[in-house]
Structure 1
Amino acid sequence: MATSAMLDVGRQCNQSNCHQVDFLPIRCSCTAYFCRDHITPDAHECPTHVSSNTSSPSGAQPLDRCSLEHCEKPSLGAFAAEEAKKDALCTRCRLAFCAEHRYPDVHACTPSSGSEHTRENSKARALLTKHFGVGTAKTATSSSTPSASSSTSPKSVQVKKVEMMKMRHKAVPADPKDKPASVPAATRLHVRVRVEDGEDERIFWLKKTTVAGKALDLLAAAMKVKMTSPTGLFVDQGGVDSNKLDNGSTLASQVEEGDVLRIRTL
């Protein structure tokens, strides 16, 4: 690869004493590009930030915060020029994060239904319908059942994804021996756990390969349940008869991500 082509990848931070080439640079409202360490106005002595502060200190608007729960840092978009704010969003989930949490693997990113891949598929289906009539029958069927389409609308899907993201960040390991650094996120199963018919719950994660019997022991200990009588682990199905888990089978084969599990006396 030519040297000139290599230099076109990413941008060098505009901070005079920084030589870092950032592959996801953010443009500040002062129109210059900076790396994650120097994007904040005070880090590069942003002239627009200084002038706005001196002209209207009492009327300053609060900065947009990072979308990650419990993080109070400003999002990258808070410092970006108005036309560049969309470039500061995560390319997968389209949410705004601070410099520390902007990478998908750091904030347990789930792709948005409005991603580039989805838009391209929609364009392809539109062309098929226009030229070959493909998909017209499906459209007619879906229009007669609005309730089904509304439950899978992009907005509701995005809300569910954000809720799942929040749940993953609240979860703690059910097994004290498991450390987040040693168990990849892709191998974890996140569940809400309640006792008997109570509504108080805690959120845990376990390895997907954990068998239900061991999971019951770990969760009962974490929830401080004394198993003096035969006890089982059940999947709560929202008012419908719950399914008792097979103690000899893995959690991943019986439980979905985000399910509610109940510890019940048999």
Structure 2
Amino acid sequence: MASSSRSEPPEDASFTTMDEKDPTLIGIHCQYTYCNQLDFLPFRCESCRGTYCLDHRSETGHQCHKAGEWAAQRRRANLSTPSLGAGKMMAEVEKPCASPACKTLIGTSLSTSVHCSTCNRDYCLKHRLKEDHDCTNLVPIGARVSKFDTQADNAKNALERLRAWGTAQKASMATRVLPKPKSTSAAARVVAVNKLKKTAKGDDKIPVEKRVYLYVEAEAATTSSKFPSGAFYYSKDWVMGRVLDAAAKSLQVNNVNNQAMDEREKLRVFHVEGGRLLEFNEKVGTALVSGNRIVLLRGVGPAVPDLIDLTRN
């Protein structure tokens, strides 16, 4: 006999549980030809309306001769349900294309509308692309015009000042006499690094495997130092700002980076082999290798300008 402990069938099942509270229901024999088992909690097939036990309740279980009928009935019921927007007139959604020169009526059965999320307007198929309706020069609908214009002006000013900064940097670096990297063989570089390691000074607490050995110079044109150059080692985990502080202290160069607001008074680190100014937050192990040469310069400005600062008036 089928068990009386069972869960409710899922919503999309082809069978339903018969009401066990019916006082006339004292058990029904399964109508599957090869079963005929008495079941006190039978199931009704929603396709053929037959009654079956737990084992043969599905359409495949009793080889239903009307398989799929329940699903077809559900589809017909869903199609007969009014859809959202039913009853609305076409005139409620019809409107002209947002392009000023276009007179096409969109939102009709013949001409669909395409929404541009950038300018928040609706266009016909001909003007749906941004370049076709001059999207970049339109203020988005709903946006604050003054704020939009201010942001555009700030971006334009920042770009102009960035170009001016680049021109000034080229002119400034062209007037400086900086050391150039020497072309040497790999074997000669190994010998030079080994010699450098014997004379370089630094913090004894830095593990040997983390030391990067460098030649350090102070540019005579912009910095006054007691010692014009020296050989030092720094940890590969240090950032260039810390290297600059240590190098300035070793060469006895006046370092006012922490107090000065004017870039003309600040020191910067120039990497000879790389041919560029190094950022204060760059790691030694990433930017430099043993045997490289760095130069302390004053008044050359940041390695890269602050683009956020360029937008401020």
Q: TM bucket by the smaller chain?
A: 0.3 to 0.5
Q: TM-score, normalised by structure 2?
A: 0.31
| Larger helix share, 1 or 2 | 1
Q: TM-score, normalised by structure 1?
A: 0.36
